[in-house]
Structure 1
Amino acid sequence: MKTKQKLIALVGGPGSGKTSVLESLENLGFTCYQEVSREVTLEAQKAGIDQLWIAEPLHFSRILLEGRIKQHHQAQEEPKNAVIFDRGIPDVLAYLDYIGDHYPKEFIDACNTYRYDQIFFFPPWEAIYRNDNERYESYSEAKEIGEILVNTYERFGYELQTVPFGSIDERVAFITQNS
């Protein structure tokens, strides 16, 4: 009989170190799912839309929601007992809340249906924050997004564990020791 996987989400504002830690966890043999939004952004850019999130936030968010639900389903079939995600489904709502956009009830329903067992929050960290092709927010915007993410996850009943500042190895150790 197959055991249920422990689903772990790494969440935080842009540039807080989630992806670097996820890549390190993956290199250690953990089953990890990459952030969906980078792929969506790159596909939109190939189609001539520089920032789909800015041009059509609800459409972009729908694609993200579908991608994260797909990841959630795929995780149930993984052979290992733990799956780690770069962001979770409630992130979609948090970003729409950040811009003051409305979303249909199905977005809320998805957050209630597709749950995670553990959430690790990466607080804003100015020393490591960098902009890139898919990350255009300023550091102050990243801080605000981080606060909205915390509020959104707590609204859905999650207890977040804050990942302390430190080297990638120290942050990985914190997650492995506390999951």
Structure 2
Amino acid sequence: MGKKALIIGGPGTGKSTTLKALEKKGYTCYPEISREVILDAQKNGIEQLFLTDPLLFSQRLLEGRINQFKKAEMQEGTVFIDRGIPDVTAYLDYKKDTYPTYFKEANLQYRYDLVFLFPFWEDIYVGDNERYENRTEAKEIQSFLEQTYRNLGYDLIAVPQDNVANRVNFILSRC
């Protein structure tokens, strides 16, 4: 059974870049799936599904992240996952949206072994086609993510603001 190492943090903190570097080193990595959901919605004429229908967007994310979790359990060694199941409720709480209780139940049912927190990093934050948040919103989301995971009893391992190679080495030294 694989160890599930989660990489979390607000938008634009360097998670995906670090995950790609871990993948290049031969580790099994599951990318952030929200971009897939967003791009799929855009193909269907919905520019920002999270803004248009947050609950539908979040249900799709929850399903995808549960699938990633289950696949990670079947792998040998450490599996790195970009964003986890609790991110869904953190974002909904940030938006002050209501959601069914099974969202919070999923947070309790599916537990990760390690959670690496990428702090907001002003110098590397860049907006793009799928990232609608400005810097202020990204910082607020970061706070909601941290609080959600801490409330669930996770010990967050803060990843230093450093180059990608050093971030990878930091993460691997704690797995």
TM-score by length of 2: 0.98
The answer to whether 1:158 aligns with 2:154 is yes
Correspondent of 1:131 among 104, 124, 127 = 127
1-structure distance, mates of 2:78, 2:29: 9
Which residue in 1 is equivalent to 2:171? 175
Deviations 1:105-129 (A, max 9, x none): 1001100011100000000001000
2-structure distance, mates of 1:61, 1:149: 15
RMSD after superposition: 0.6
Deviations 1:34-58 (A, max 9, x none): 0010000000000110000000001
Task: Give the paired residue count.
Answer: 175
Which residue in 2 is equivalent to 1:5? 2
Deviation at 1:141, TM superposition (A): 0.8
Match runs of 1:2-151 below 5 Å: 4-78=1-75, 80-151=76-147
Deviations 1:61-109 (A, max 9, x none): 000000000111111222x211110000000000001010111110011
2-structure distance, mates of 1:18, 1:63: 21
Identity %: 52
Deviations 1:145-167 (A, max 9, x none): 11110000011110100000000
2-structure distance, mates of 1:142, 1:148: 10
TM-score by length of 1: 0.96
Q: Is the 8 A contact 2:3 2:73 kept in 1?
A: no
Q: Secondary structure at the match of 1:9?
A: strand
2-structure distance, mates of 1:136, 1:126: 16
Q: Secondary structure at the match of 1:50?
A: coil
1-structure distance, mates of 2:117, 2:26: 21
Over 6 Å off, 4+ runs? none
